[in-house]
Structure 1
Amino acid sequence: MSTIGVGQSGFVALIPLIADRVGLGPGAIGFAVALGSLAFLVAAPIWGHRGERIGRARLMRRLGLVALASHLAVIAVMAVPPAPPLAALGALCAARFAYGVAGAGMMPTAQAWIAGTTAPEARPAALARLSAGLGTGRILGSLAAIASPLHPLAPFALMAASTASVALVPRSAAPAGPAGSAATAQPQPPLSLRDLWPVIAIGFLLTVCFGQIQVTLGPFLQVVLNTTPADATATTGWLLALVAIAMIATQMLVVPRLRLGPHGSVVAGAATVCAGTAAILASGTVWEIAAGLALAGAGTALATPGYTAWLTGRVERAAQGRATGWLASAHVGGQGIGALTGGLAFELWPALPFLDCAIIAGLVALIAAWMGRARRHTPRGQSG
């Protein structure tokens, strides 16, 4: 999953270089990024379904080739003499659209693969390691920009090389059905969104929280710390890096040692997000804000594999790819809604986005606890 993270954060970090080389403004390049996000939103459920039919290993390798082609297209745009702005924009949009389509398939396919090959009690830890790989890739993608002084195309070559990790996908993996390739001839089990939407809604709401924090953190620091835009930007950078490290450490070191189960992980994670954002509201120094952010990041890292395991446990194995595809779309939608609502809330009151997050995360913790309690009191065979 690191290759997805590299392509996501690496391209964003290199926007100034791309703008300088191809003669496009940040707004035009931002449109290409948004188009890639839209492709991810639409394609994730589709790829989840296809992975169940043609085999997850085969689909992962094919999507890796699509991701590689998208990186090579960007390199071509950067390498040739300056093209007409419309042509350059079209090429970048096509490349990011292709990358969004590829990334949309890799994540839910890998999640469903893990869910179908691990025991329910081991599933949250396995999914946490997958999320840690994505987070590590995002950090590496941002660091790829450091290679730009060596050659303007060096970061893009590193991003393209990251797709080689897809070659490590085992070739022996069978399609999701119980009879290997014969499963493609069997009818697909029904997938009821009515049974899944409560868990998908939990993932959506927690992602809205994270989106609000990301988009308003810089302006919030500028107001609370009474600092300049440049200092606030630099502080935001290292604080977000700290959050990423806290999330990876939680996913790799904490989640595998916990025995909370999917429901317990969601409750504990959402409660931790609530505590972290509440701590930010009470903070007056950058170090107090850093502690609150790290706590909120750790809570997100704890809750995400929990509700993913919870979701996959509510459907048959052959439908897990479609379920995780819908969850991936909910994540992308949550990021977008979080950015929009966070910006609007900040205009009303700089601390309002963080208060929103504390309230939402607290409600999610209560709802997840109630759902877990109701499930324990439901006769076996009637629970989802």
Structure 2
Amino acid sequence: MPSSPLLTNPTLRALVAIALFTYTAQNMLNVSIAPLSRALDLPEWIVGAAVSLAAAAVTALSQFWGRRSIAWGRRRVILLALILALTAGTLFSAAVWARAAGYIGAFAAAGAIMAARGPFFGAAVAAIPPTGQALVAEVTPDEGSRVRGTSAFSGAINLSVMVGSLVSSALGAWWIFGPVHATPVFVLIALAIALIWLPRDGGTTHPRRHLPRLSHEAAEPEKATPASSIEGTTDSASAEPTDGELPPRVSWTDRRIAPWIASIFGIYFANGVVQITIGFLVQDRGGLEPAPAVSITALMLLANAAGAMLMQLIVVPRLGWGPRRLLRAGMTLALIALTCLTLAPTLWAVAASTFAMGVASGMASPGYSAGASLAVTEREQGGIAGVINATGAITWIVAPVSATALYGWMPLSPFLLALSLVALSCSCAWLLLHKLDIVSRARD
């Protein structure tokens, strides 16, 4: 089997290390935010609103960052994003400390937490996946290598979820506020990695700050070389832009990628429901207090991430399945796993179901990422990388706030809603993804 681009491309290895520490920091916030809402005497909907605002920022900025990672350079984009993430993590930590010490009231604490975990942190982390996805597309010229590359990059991010869960569990067992105050430290490590190991952006021209006006011919996808026609791999250090022009945007309604989006959005919504309500689920079905619930919640998210990482780093690269088959299998398994989670009576059953949900995501996500990436041209890879990252984020705009509100009304209701959407996407995966050559769609 050909080696993974993660092992051969130094820029991609640096991006994975940055993603590891940044997403570890993000996951520490995810694990602790539900128990913290009760420990700090804040309304439950604050949790959902914070994550929804972050998802809105990711949705709005994913294609922005993806295109600019090509036009401005990867180092410049990543450094800007990490400085923003460091600011957000520090604000979140300060707000929690001030609320716990009694220096600020619930209203001020809620506003600071929503701002820090919402648009600030969301805008920052929005830069990392599209930057990495665009680079993976650049160094993987065919369907098989594209599946392996996207799977490996996604698996590395899921590894960070596992690390974040373990660190949160250990810190939360020692002090419920420990994961929050450790968040800026992990972002600072990611910033140091970017400063030391990310190669400097090539070229001496000043990038344009606005999208240049493209002629109709230049904007047409068929005029560009299909991504599948790239011969060999491109060294990332020499792949910097020469004129600073932004590549074209990719429309969500583009008929080349719309079937892929329709076939995946259900599992992303379900993941949002599961990850944001798991802290409440652990407390209510396990009868736990907020402090011990931090560690158990971290273990549940660890089980979910372990399932996804197992598939993305080990199983999917060895299966040799195409994007369509991976997506269909993953969505079918997600429907079964979510049904089991909805009915799970014990914490052991919840853990097994969340692990199965991770396995399903670990199959479906690489299929979607590779399939959508192969469906567009080389010039559109920055744009499609942003769309791929934003697809999951757009479901998180609605999923967390609706899930927490519905859970407060009737605990079973958010899972029933997620089940219906997973069933719809599973149907789309089987009915809309026709048996056509995926790569040829880039020429249509």
Normalised to the residue count of structure 1, the TM-score between the two structures is: 0.78
The answer to whether residue 244 in structure 2 is matched with residue 184 in structure 1 is yes
- Give the partner amino acid of 2:271: F
2:193 matched to 1:165? yes
Deviates more, 1:144-153 or 1:200-209: 144-153
Structure 1 unaligned residues grouped into runs of 5+: none
Larger mean Cα displacement after TM superposition, 117-126 or 163-172? 163-172
The unaligned stretches of length 5 or more in structure 2 are 1-18, 204-235
- Tell me, yes or no, if the aligned pair for 1:35 and 1:93 is still in contact at 8 Å: yes
User: Which residue of structure 2 lines up, in the alignment, with residue 110 of structure 1?
Assistant: 132
% same residue: 22
Amino acid of the residue matched to residue 187 of structure 2?
A
Counterpart-to-counterpart distance in 2, 1:62 and 1:366? 40
Deviations 1:41-77 (A, max 9, x none): 3222222222231123432233223323433455666
Q: C-alpha root-mean-square deviation of aligned residues, in Å?
A: 4.3
Cα pair distance change 1:295/1:168, threshold 3 Å: farther
Distance 1:235 1:140, change over 3 A: closer
How far off its partner does 1:35 sit?
3.9
Cα distance in 1, alignment partners of residues 318 and 388 from structure 2: 25
2:130–2:389 CA contact under 8 A, matched in 1? yes
Name the structure 2 match of 1:137: 160
- Greater CA drift, 87-96 or 283-292: 87-96
Q: Is the 8 A contact 2:70 2:240 kept in 1?
A: no
Q: Please list, as runs of the form range in 1=range in 2, the aligned pairs for 1:277-356 lying within 5 A after superposition.
A: 277-280=338-341, 286-340=347-401, 342=403, 353-354=414-415, 356=417
Q: Deviations over 1:95-148 (max 9, x none)?
A: 443322111111211111112221331122222222222223233334444447
Give yes or no for contact 2:34–2:276 (8 Å, CA) kept in 1: no
How far apart are residue 368 of structure 1 and its match? 2.3
Report which of the two has the higher share of helix. 1
Matched residue SS, 2:126? helix
Residues 200-219 of structure 1: pairs in structure 2 closer than 5 A: 200-215=261-276
Q: 1:156 to 1:103 in 2, by over 3 A?
A: closer
Contact 2:376 2:441 in 1 (8 A): no
* Alpha-carbon distance in 2 for matches of 1:311, 1:193: 11
The letter for the 2-side match of 1:130 is F
Distance 2:50 2:241 in 1: 38
What corresponds to 1:228 in structure 2?
287
Tell me which amino acid in the other structure corresponds to 1:197: A
Give, as a single letter, the amino acid of the residue that structure 1 aligns with 2:150. Answer: L
TM-score normalized with structure 2 length: 0.69
Change (3 A) 1:98 1:113: same
State the Cα distance separating 1:257 from its structure 2 match: 0.7
Amino acid at match of 1:161: L
Query: C-alpha displacement at 1:337, in angstroms?
Result: 2.6
Q: Is the 8 A contact 1:24 1:89 kept in 2?
A: no
Q: CA deviation at 1:247?
A: 1.4
| Aligned: 1:99 with 2:99 | no
Match of 2:310 among 249, 252, 270: 249
* Residue 192 of structure 1: how far off its partner (Å): 3.6
Question: Using the alignment, how far apart are the partners of 1:12 and 1:132 within structure 2?
Answer: 19
CA shift in 2, pair 1:93/1:207, >3 Å: closer
Q: Structure 1 residue 54 and structure 2 residue 54: aligned?
A: no
SS state at 2:375 partner: coil
